[in-house]
Structures are given as C-alpha cells and as structure tokens.
Amino acid sequence: MKRFIYISNILFILLTTTIFTSCVDDFLDKEPYGTSSFWTTPAEAELGINAAYQPFYEEEFYGRGQFWLETADDDMIVNNSGKTTTINLTSFISTTNDDGYSRSYWEYSYRIIRRSNDVLRNVPNMSMDQNLKNRILGEANFMLGLTYFQLARRHGGLPFGDKENPLDYNKPRETLTETYNRIEAYLLEATHLLTEWNSNNGENAGRATLGAAWGTLAKVYCYWGKYDKAKDACEKVINSGQFDLLDDYAKAFSLEYEKSPEHIFYVNNKAERHHGTITSIVHLSQKLTDGGGWKYFAPTKSLSDAFEPEDTRRSVTLAGIRETVRLLNTDVLLTADNISDMGTGFMCMKYASPYQKLSSYDWETGLDIPILRYSDILLLHAEAIIVLGGGGPDPGKRNTGVAAAAESFNKVRLRAFKQDQSKYIAAPTFMDLVNERRCELAFEEQRHADLVRWGLAKEVYAAATTATDPRGPRTFDPAKHNYFMLPQREIDISNGLLINNPEPGYSTFE
C-alpha cells in the first residue's frame, strides 16, 4: 500500500474533501470546515464520511478502472495493443503484476478504506444526534465491506490495517476465510446501523443504505458458497418492498431513470468535467466519433452470440457492423470503415444512451454508474435456490431444473423479452442462470468473477475461438489465476510482508 494513502495528517482529508465537495452533487456539495479542530462537530463528521466516497470518481476507479481487469472475461477485450501489461495479465501469461491500472485500483480502494477507518475511529466518541451518528458509522462500515469485497474478488486474501493505529499499515495478507469474515462483519454492522432502504431521492442520493448493505452481503455469501445466508439476504432486499425492476431494460441505463427503485447502489454523477466519471466515453469508437471516443474496450462476438433473438438487452449492451445506433440526434449505420478501430467489430453501448440526445461527445455525461442493481439480487436469489435445490456448476448438476427459482429468475428474463410468456422457463437450470447473468450484467464487473467462483473459467476460456474472441483459447489455471497477483509495487514497498501465490488458504476458503 503506497505511503501517501496512509498519511495521517487531517489536512490531507480536508484538502481532498474540498476537491470532492466541488466535484459531485447533492450530499457532497458542502463546504469543508477549518482544520484546527477536526472531528468536533456533526458537520465535520459528515465531511469525513463524504471523503470516503471521493475515490469512486477517479478515472482509474469508477471511470475506466473497473474495466481493465474485467477484460479477463470473454465479454470484452482491451482494444489497444499498446496496453501490453494489462493484456498479458488478463491473458493469464504474466508472472508478476506490473499493471499500472491494477495498482491504481488498489490504491484508490485503500484510500476509501483509510478514510472509512478514520470515521470509525473518531465519530463514536463525538457528541451528536444519535441517528446521524448511526448513519455515518453505518456508511463507513458499508464502504469498508464493499471495498474489501471488491478487492477480494480480484486478489483473494488481503492485508488489513489497524484503524486504531493508522500508521501501522504494513501488514501481511490474511487468508480468504479471514478476509470474508471481516467483510461480513463490516456489512452486518452496517445493517444494524443504517435505517433507510434506499437513497434515490433528495440530497442523500447515492449514499450507502440498508438495501445496499443487505444486497452486498447477498453477493458476499454467494461468493463464499454460503447459499442459505445468500438466500436470506436476498429476501431481506426483496421483501423490503423498496426495490423493483423498471419495465424496460434500456431505462436502467438512461439519465431519465437512473435513480429508480432498480438502482440499489451507484456512483452519483454530474454532467460536468470533474463532476462525474468518464465511463460513457471510454467505450466509443474514436473514428466514429471524430476523436471523441477513447476506444479502450471492445465487446466480443462471443458476448453478442450469447443473446437470444428478440432479447432487448443486446441492443442496449452492444452494437456491431451493419447495425444502426443513435448518436448526437442522428441514426448512424455502423460499418467496417467507421468503426475500423474497434478490433472485434463491436462497440459497447451500455453507457452511451446520453449521447443519443447530446450535441457533442462530452466526457462526463452525468449518467450514474450502477454498482448494484435489483436484477442482480433477483438472479442471486435464483442462484441460491438452484444450488440449494440440487443444481450447480458440477457437470452432473448443471442441467437440473429447479422450479422454486422460477419466480425471481423469470422476473429478470421476461423483462428482456417484453413479457413474452413463451420465454418463461418453468424450472431454470444452473446453466440457464449462468447465461442470464451474462446477458443481464455485461460490463458491470460480474462475468469474470462469476466464472471464477463457479469454477467454470478454465473451461469457458479454453473453449474460445478466434471467431468469437480475437484472443482465441486462453490457458487458465485455477491454482494460479483464480485471483490476480498483487500489484508488484505493493509487494516491493512491504519489505517482504506481502507475497504472491502464498499458501492455498489465501486463494481458497478453509
């Protein structure tokens, strides 16, 4: 962990908070107080937790950073041959992790962790309204649980600092089980402190909520293989009555419906430079947009082929040669010439809906970036029921239908087909679930991690062909590749405490 992430001087927090409060809207648009006696007023406590959200807005976090290692999946590629370190890492041929994007993601994650720990260390002893204190402490616990979970999905067992002694940060990795025990504890504490199920309206839009805490716990339990607990956590969210699917998949990625009951937790953006993320622009063809697009990532034909005919999610997710898209109030036919810089012949459209009406290719469109959607919870609920009902990723269980999973599963599926009842699956199988998650959640940080946790990555990546993925078949060894190596710089500055590929307990549950 880089030294500057752990600077203890409160001025660092306040300076970054000053920047942050000028960069995002609503609850973050508040002026910081002075530096002489911080952590003494309720307003300063709020500034402290607000600072924990700031790294989400960095380009290498939820701007484009969430996509670099996601290109390890079979849905998209790094669309720039010059990004060799990322390409080698996600092709599973690197022996060290020298990837700068991976390191930046790690660094921003530990900024969130440090700032959240500052809240937990200082706010409990402050004199303030108990409801406000509980909300701030609940958010800090949630941010710790979520951030460690995101890192654990990528790297396995993690190092944990001591919140009471923030300068004592150089710690060895803990096992995967120990890591998940800590994550669970943070999120459970958040569920005890938070009271609002969603924050989609008003000045607190975008804050962590009770729904986000239970929803993230549901994901944690599925990754952990604790499906009884996963089912219960999902049902907490479902039975709250606070969340629902929009009637049209496209609306979930539109400015008009971005703060809907479908969005449980998200990056709350403004359509202004440095007031949001650059997610929308990084996927578009540079040639098609006259230099506006960044062409960093390109969808694969494998992903395109995964969608059934008439699945409305496909046109929202991607478009290819001989297809028409709407950009800058104009219908544009994609051709081998005007998207020649997209190495697969496909372009991601999932975050591009604002450009349908905009007059130029602005970097920050204002579109919120979803981190957890209700459809994800419904599919996790279906997954838990399928596994508990005898289905699963093992070859002998993959095609076992489980009728009890039909309700949650088909709520998601039928929306994609405009409620066409002929698409209803009465007893979904595990493989039905695998493809449904792929089509529903493409480009949302799910596919590679899903394949890894199910034990399917080796099989799926080996089956690729150059016709469906320009990388062709890739050799994935679960013992080596289930988790990405730690960033080499973090290993170097740890004086030998951090190591790659340690004992199996760091990459497998005990």
Q: Check residues 144 and 199 and name the one with the higher pLDDT.
A: 144
Q: Compute the distance between CA of residue 404 and CA of residue 408 in angstroms, rounded to an integer.
A: 9
User: 347: part of which helix (H) or strand (E)?
Assistant: strand 346-348
Q: Please, what is the average pLDDT of the chain?
A: 91
Residue 439 backbone dihedrals phi, psi, to 5 degrees: -70, -35
pLDDT of 8 strictly over 50: no
Query: β-strand 297-299 against 318-320: which pairing, if any?
Result: unpaired
pLDDT of 31 strictly over 70: no
Which CA distances in Å does 480 have to 73, 94, 133, 215, 471?
16, 11, 43, 30, 20
Which of 24-33, 201-210, 354-363 bottoms out in mean pLDDT, i.e. has the lowest? 24-33
- pLDDT (tens digit, 9 = 90+) per residue, 42-83? 999 999 999 999 999 999 999 999 999 999 999 999 999 999
In contact, 190 and 138? CB cutoff 8 Å: yes
- pLDDT (tens digit, 9 = 90+) per residue, 187-223? 999 999 999 999 887 788 899 999 999 999 999 999 9
Report the predicted TM-score, pTM, of the whole model to 2 decimal places. Answer: 0.93
pLDDT of 28 strictly over 70: no
- Residue 177's CB is within 10 A of a number of other CB atoms, namely 15
* 6 pLDDT tier (thresholds 50, 70, 90): very low
